[in-house]
Structure 1
Amino acid sequence: MSIKFSANEIRYIALFENMTGAMVKDCIIDDENGKVTFVVKNGDMGLAIGKGGSTVTKVQKAVDKGVEIIELSEDPTEFIKNILSPAELESIKILQKETGEKIATVATDTTNKKIAIGKNGINIERAKLLAKRQHNINNIVLK
C-alpha cells in the first residue's frame, strides 16, 4: 500500500530528516491534539532521539507540536509493540481471515490497556492507522 503525503507532511518529514539524520517512513500530523508522529527506519531510533533526547527536543521546538517517534519493524508484531509502547503487552496474535482481512489481537492487563487506548482512544486509533499503512493490518483488538 503506497502512502500519499500532504504538502505539510512532506515539509515535516524533510525538516525531521534534516535535523536528525534519521530516515522517515511515515508521518501523521494530528493538529487536533497538537502532535506529529514520525515512523523512522529500523535502527534510526537513536539518531531521531539524540543524546538525552536533545534532537527530538529541537524538532519539537521547530514544529511547535509534540513529537512522537516510532521505530518501524518488518515484523508486524514487533511494530505493533513499538506503536503501543509504553504499554506492556502480554501477547500479539495476527490472524488472516478467509476474506484476506488481517486482524491483530493484543492481550494486556487493565492498566496497560488504558495506556494502549490513550485519552479518547487517540493511541489505539493511531496504532490502527499505522498498522494498516505499514503492514496492511485491518484492525487491532485489545483484550
Structure 2
Amino acid sequence: MIVTLSDEARQYIAVFDDETDVPAIDCVVDEECDRLVFVVPAGTMGKAIGPGGKHVRAIESAVGRDVTVIENADTVEDFVANALAPAAVYNVTISENDTTIAYAEVDHEDRGVAIGKDGRRIDMARRLAKRHFDVDGIELT
C-alpha cells in the first residue's frame, strides 16, 4: 500500500534519519498521546534504537515527544506481531470475509502489554496495519 505522509511527519522522519542513519518508512504523529511512531525497515530495529536506546532518547529530546519504533515486515502476520511488541505474540491469523481481521494469539500475562495504557498500543497497531496492509481490525485471542 502507498502511505501518505504529512509535511510534519516528513520533518520528523528527517530528524529520525539524521540521528539513526535508518530511513524510516512511516511516521505517525499521535497528538492524543503526544508521541511519534516510526516504522523502520525489517532488520534495522537495533540500529534505529541505538545502544541502550541512545538514538530514541536523542530523538525524544530533540522533538519533545515520546518515540516508539516498530519494525516493518513482509507479511501482515509478522507486522501485527511487531506492532504489538513487546507482548509475546504466538500466532497471528488473518480472516478475510467482508472485512479483514487479524487475530493475534497473545500470552495471557502479556494481554495488558499488547493493549497498552488506555488501549494505545493496540489502537496504534490497528492504525498501522490499516495503513500498511489494509487490515480492518486486530483482535486479541
Normalised-by-shorter TM-score class: over 0.9
Match of 2:22 in 1: 22
Match of 1:63 in 2: 63
**Counterparts in 2 of 1:31-110, with a 5 A limit?**
31-97=31-97, 99=98, 101-110=99-108
Contact preservation (8 Å) 1:85, 1:116: yes
1:8-38 per-residue CA deviation (whole Å, 9 max, x = no partner) reads: 1111011111111111111111122121100
Q: Does 1:120 find its partner at 2:127? A: no
Which contiguous aligned blocks of 4+ residues in structure 1 show a shift greater than 3 angstroms?
none
Contact preservation (8 Å) 1:116, 1:124: yes
Mean CA deviation greater in 102-111 or 71-80: 102-111
TM-score computed with the length of structure 1 as normaliser: 0.91
Contact preservation (8 Å) 1:23, 1:44: no
Q: Which runs of 5+ in 1 are unaligned?
A: none
Contact preservation (8 Å) 2:106, 2:114: no
Aligned positions, number: 141
Contact preservation (8 Å) 1:44, 1:71: yes
Q: Which amino acid aligns with 2:39?
A: V
The root-mean-square deviation of aligned C-alpha atoms, in Å, is 1.3
Identity in percent: 35
Q: Distance in 1 between matches of 2:93 and 2:129?
A: 13
Q: Out of 118, 121, 133, which is 1:135 matched to?
A: 133
Q: Which runs of 5+ in 2 are unaligned?
A: none
